[in-house]
Every structure is written in C-alpha cells, then in structure tokens.
Structure 1
C-alpha cells in the first residue's frame, strides 16, 4: 500500500492508492478424485483409439508361423482401409470369423474379469478373429502351382520362401489335398487369404470347393467389410518385436483383367 506525498491542488490530504485484491487460490481435487478423473479420460481415449485407429489382438493358432507364433500379441491399424482403401495383396489382416473357420478354443476370448473388461476397450487382445495373409483381391485368379511349387496370381508366380513355411508339403497351396487347383476371379468386395504355415492353416484354400466338384457350395472368400485392419507390429514377446511390411513379391503381380 502506498500514498502520495505531494498535497492535492484543492488542499485535501493525499489519498491512498487503490489496492487490487489478490486472486483466490483454486481448490485442488482430492487425490482419489483426480485418479478417477484420469482413469476416466484414459478409458475414453482407449475406446476412441480402439474404434478408430489401433487395436490389440493375439495369434490364435499356428497358421501364421514362422513369422507369427501362436499367442503372439500384435497391433492392428485401421486407417489404411479408410476412405475407399481396401486390403492389398500381401497384407496380413485380422478379420471376423466368416463362420466355422475357428474351433472352440481358437474362438474363445480372454478369460477373467479384468482381461475381458480390458479387451472390450482395446487394451487387451480380443478373440473370435483370424489372422491371414491376403493372396488375392477382387478379380484375381489364384492357381496352384507351377513346376517350382509356387502360387500364381494372375499368372505371376509368388516367391514366398522368405515368410511362408511348407511344413513338408510339395507346394505353397497344399490344403486342398493336392497341388493342382485354381480359384477365382475373386468376387467384388471379397478377398482370398492364406496362412503362412501352408500345410497347417484352415484358410481360404482349405474352405474352397475341391477341384472338379459339381455340387459344392462352400465359400472360400472373406468379406472386406469383415476385415478389422492390417497387422503392422508384432508387439510381444519383446525379443521378437518388429514392424511388418508387405513382401516385395506382390509388387510384381499384374492387375486382374
């Protein structure tokens, strides 16, 4: 507080300068309330992230070995398939069970209250989904196999030795029962998928009609609408952490006629 020493012109005594009151201190929430608030914000963010961007899953079987092993934890990103985007040849995708592709053990989600709760908001891997590699997209014709046992897509052989396992088979498409089959053109809005463990994968080739069958109604394709997203990270175990990339061999496949 200060005063003016000089007298005023009208002879009145000097006046004290006005004092601005100090701002009131903001009250902090108790620790337990702040904790609940932060948990609520984290929960909302987790739900938004799961719905729009990234979701955790696990590998339900041996079908994607050697690259992805049963019970591996993976991250799936969704924006790649926004705004007209669609799965591309070579992508490893997660999709909903088209119906009967998973057995009971593979279809089961996490057990335990905490794990089930976290899985619903994307903080824990969920069940009921499959993980396969896209081999053919709309219009493609897939044929097994050339003299080297390689799959052909639109006539172009695929060099898959860097990521696929034969498991004692003579070709890269043995689940039909032989190495002489053809499927396609892949219908609009669908994809043809296969596991990397070619001799142990209940994939599109396993669910297709046998060659020369006349009364078979089996559907080997997966609806694009059932695809959750593209696998981009092997998250756990940490010693095998890596980012997944589309194999170069698919870049040589010509567009469907």
Structure 2
C-alpha cells in the first residue's frame, strides 16, 4: 500500500491504498502542525525584524555636508592661488581711476591687461598700455591712506584683482616707440610721428554735451624717443599727466619699456560698456613711414663695413 500527497488547484490530493481523496487547501499536513513562531511573541518579533531593512548609521547627507564645509577653505585657497598665478603671468584686471583716457575709458571701468603679448611682439604705436610710474610719475588721483592694517590688506587685495585702483599704475596710449620723432604741432595743429600727421578724431576726448573735441596738445614738444623708451599720452589731453608733463625725466618724458605691465585689450565692466580696445588705423601710416628708415639703418651697416675694410686695405697696401 502506498500513501502520497500532492498540491494542486487549491486542494490537497491524498492517495490511500487505491483511493484518491481531495481535501481543501489549508488542511494538509503542513498546515495541521501549529507554528511555534506563531505562538512565541519573541520569535514573531524577530521574524518581523528580519523582513525589515537594516537600520542605517549616521545620515549620509549629513556626512556630505560636513565634508563640504571642511573642503570649502581648501577650494577657496586653491582658487585664490590660481587667480594670483593668472594675474601675475597672464591677464590682470585694472580699475580706471581718472578721466585721463576719456572717452575711450571712463572712471570706474575695468579693463583686462594682457601680460604675455609683448613676449611675442613689440609694443606698437596706438597700443593702450598699463605701466608702473613708481618713484617717477606724480599721482593723477589723490588717494586716502588706509587708517589701519586691515584696510591696507583689503586695499592691496582689491588692487590685485582690479576692484580698486593701484596707486602707481597708469594707463596711456603709446604715441611713439624707440627711434620715432614725435612733434606738436604742425600747421594744422596735428601731432606728427616721423613726419606723418596723426588723425586722432576717433579717440580724442569729446565733450558729450557740447560736442567739442580736445586739441591734440596745448603743450608744444619735439622729442626723439630713445632706445628702450616710449612716448605716451592720454586720450583726454586737457586732463592727462603724460610724457608732455615729465620732460625733466632722464628719458625726456618717455617711459621705460621695462615698466610696461601689459596691453589693455578689452573693457569688461560695466556690462553695458564691454568693448575691445583696437589700435586706431591712423598709426599704420606712422609705422609705414618708420619702415624705410629702419631699412636704411640696416642697409647702412654693411656699407659702413665695406668702406672700413676698403680703407683698411689701402692702409695695409701703403
């Protein structure tokens, strides 16, 4: 005799001998035995806990927030170091403190100065340059001396990032480069460079109310720019302290090329004044006039050498 059971379709089938019996589900042998876990409250609690998610430790969000605040000073420090490196070697922002470059640059404008450009090319006539006038040029704007060390530090930081003006940094337009002869004025009251008159109407200061434009200069001058020097002037000629006002300097009013910090190439603030600072086309003619002179100087070198060699030969032959 065989006895077996099988589940199917919600009923139990039970075979006893040759007979097959069907019983409703829930009455089989598994269900007929009482569950110890059902009667034991502790085991029911453990079974319930086993089905729940394991309890978590401290909040991951809290850990992330704490980590962020710890890393923030480091991030700020890295950003400041990178900004200082860029400012020192690549590009620096400058604040315009005076009216000497109006209407090209207004008081409160911020410009970016390219410090690398003159490592790849020479300074050109018409460039707007920032240079240091330390120990040689008078201040164009009076500054109140900071009253305490904290103010001094804040002022130094602001000057570094172009938020406040530097006390000895100037911004002017290059009129003459080494070898140029700059004069004022010709019969039509124009400045000439190497005998070529400049058409300065595109950048000289114009009064916005009257429309009257500055004269090229009320101060006459006639200077030849020496080696390693520059002749610079502001676009607002009536208010600019520039090469015309420093004629007693060793360079005769010129500034050393070595004092040039870089070329101002764009206005970045305020937003409604964002613009580039290109070289006016009038300076192309002055450059073209200087080119044959340079070629003549280059050509004179071999001719002079030939003459000296010839003179030496005659002397030896004698």
Deviation of 1:169 after TM superposition, in Å, equals: 7.9
Structure 2: give runs of 5+ residues left out of the alignment.
Answer: 1-62, 294-318
Over residues 185-219 of structure 1, what are the superposed CA-to-partner deviations in whole Å (9 max), with x where a residue is unaligned? x111110000001122110012226xxxxxx9673
Q: Answer yes or no: is 1:52 the counterpart of 2:96.
A: no
Please tell me whether the aligned partners of residues 90 and 134 of structure 1 are also in contact (alpha carbons under 8 angstroms).
yes
Deviation of 1:34 after TM superposition, in Å, equals: 2.0
Q: Pick closer, same or farther for the CA change 1:107–1:62 going to 2, 3 Å.
A: farther
Q: Pick closer, same or farther for the CA change 1:123–1:95 going to 2, 3 Å.
A: closer
Please tell me whether the aligned partners of residues 110 and 268 of structure 2 are also in contact (alpha carbons under 8 angstroms).
yes
Please tell me whether the aligned partners of residues 166 and 199 of structure 1 are also in contact (alpha carbons under 8 angstroms).
no
Q: What is the match of residue 252 of structure 1?
A: 285
Q: What is the match of residue 237 of structure 1?
A: 270
Deviation of 1:233 after TM superposition, in Å, equals: 1.1
Between the two structures, name the one with larger relative contact order (CA 8 Å, sep ≥ 6): 1
Deviation of 1:170 after TM superposition, in Å, equals: 7.5
Q: What is the match of residue 67 of structure 1?
A: 104
Please tell me whether the aligned partners of residues 214 and 238 of structure 2 are also in contact (alpha carbons under 8 angstroms).
no
Structure 1: give runs of 5+ residues left out of the alignment.
Answer: 1-26, 210-215
Q: What is the match of residue 117 of structure 1?
A: 157
Q: Pick closer, same or farther for the CA change 1:30–1:242 going to 2, 3 Å.
A: same
CA RMSD of aligned residues (A): 2.7
Q: What is the match of residue 194 of structure 1?
A: 233
CA distance in 2 between counterparts of 1:71 and 1:82 reads 29
Q: Decide which structure has greater helix share.
A: 2
Q: Pick closer, same or farther for the CA change 1:75–1:30 going to 2, 3 Å.
A: same
Over residues 6-42 of structure 1, what are the superposed CA-to-partner deviations in whole Å (9 max), with x where a residue is unaligned? xxxxxxxxxxxxxxxxxxxxx9781112212211221
Scaled by the length of structure 1, the TM-score of the pair is: 0.75
CA distance in 2 between counterparts of 1:235 and 1:118 reads 16
Scaled by the length of structure 2, the TM-score of the pair is: 0.62
SS class of match (2:290): coil
Please tell me whether the aligned partners of residues 191 and 223 of structure 1 are also in contact (alpha carbons under 8 angstroms).
yes
The number of equivalent residue pairs is 217
Please tell me whether the aligned partners of residues 166 and 172 of structure 1 are also in contact (alpha carbons under 8 angstroms).
no
Q: What is the match of residue 203 of structure 2?
A: 163
Please tell me whether the aligned partners of residues 56 and 126 of structure 1 are also in contact (alpha carbons under 8 angstroms).
no
Please tell me whether the aligned partners of residues 91 and 246 of structure 1 are also in contact (alpha carbons under 8 angstroms).
yes
Over residues 35-60 of structure 1, what are the superposed CA-to-partner deviations in whole Å (9 max), with x where a residue is unaligned? 12211221111011001111111112
Higher Cα Rg: structure 1 or 2? 2
